[in-house]
Amino acid sequence: MLVIRPIQNEDYPELMAIAVASGHGFTSLPVDESLLRKKIEVSVNSFANTITQPGGESYLMVLEDDGKVVGTCAIAAAVGHDDAFYHYRLGKDVHVSDKLNIRREVETLTLCNDYTGASELCTLFLREEHRHSNIGRFLSRSRFLMMAAFPERFSDTVIAEMRGVSDEHGESPFWQWLEQHFFGIDFPTADYLTGIGEKSFVAELMPRHPVYVNLLSEAAQQVVGKVHTNTAPALSLLKHEGFTFRNYVDIFDAGPTVECQRQQIRSVQLSEPRHCHTAEEAELSGDYIVSNGRINNYRVVRAAAQLTESHGVGLSQQVLDALQINCGDPIWLLPL
């Protein structure tokens, strides 16, 4: 059975293996033991603490298939709480000469911290052999069920940074231009430094004035706001949830960041609390994401269900056991 649960200290070896498998551009899981162990520690504390408003918490979860860790997903409660959170904002600079009858609109990239305080969907990774049968959809959308059940832990604005275009060697056309003119370090190095929290070089070396997009190399211009091929399905899913691109891109690979108000996310609106009871397998149908709604022992499964009147739901005994709940306990439900 597929079960999503909070990460624990003993999951470190599996988390390191996923960090290695995720490759370049996956900055939320750096291949660094001390940083990964710190992420686990922060997540364990975040699930354990009583929260009245979002701060520096991070909720990192793993997907198990019959006890084997095969994927991860996470939510950062409020980005920029502990360190600077940078983006480029795409804008326009208009040049007009009435005398010469000339008008020019030029796209610009301006460094900003506009998303400080937003909640971020991050660290979504699923091993290749499990990328089928809507398992990725289950893993991704499970986070919206958590936001619906515990709204006090998350911000009103939710964002997701999409991985931008890079080649099989981890080289980004956008970063190559920045490297040549400003930074002098390659994309994997910049990517790694950001992943381990060493962001001071961004403020020190990033252009202090808006960058004219038409002055970038042709290859760099072509990837501004574009996603990596492997990220296209995730972007499509988020668009279906109501996320939109509002002209913010990543400072390293120029991948798009999408946003949505938490209460406007489709899956948040569809999530609902119910009380569970035991039902026979023959009575169950459909495909649902079900959580036990308990933050300090959080569990999410994918299961068939029997919806009844008065907000009841029938689940198999196997599902109740996986959620570690009893008949009559409250649960949260979301159609997959």
Which residues are tagged catalytic? 228
287: nearest Cα among 134, 147, 148, 143: 134
Please enumerate in sequence order all residues whose Cβ is within 8 A of that of 51, keeping only pairs 6 or more positions apart, or say none. 57, 77, 150, 152, 153
Cα–Cα distances in angstroms (integers) from residue 249 to residues 90, 254, 255, in the given order: 7, 5, 5
Our measurement of the distance from residue 202's CA atom to the centroid of its chain's CA atoms, rounded to an integer in Å, reads: 22
Cα–Cα distances in angstroms (integers) from residue 229 to residues 167, 224, 232, 236, 304, in the given order: 10, 14, 5, 12, 32
For residues 143 and 239, what is the distance between their CA atoms, to the nearest angstrom?
15
Q: Are 254 and 224 in contact (CB under 8 A)?
A: yes
For residues 57 and 42, what is the distance between their CA atoms, to the nearest angstrom?
7
Task: Please give the structure tokens belonging to residue 21.
Answer: 């498998």
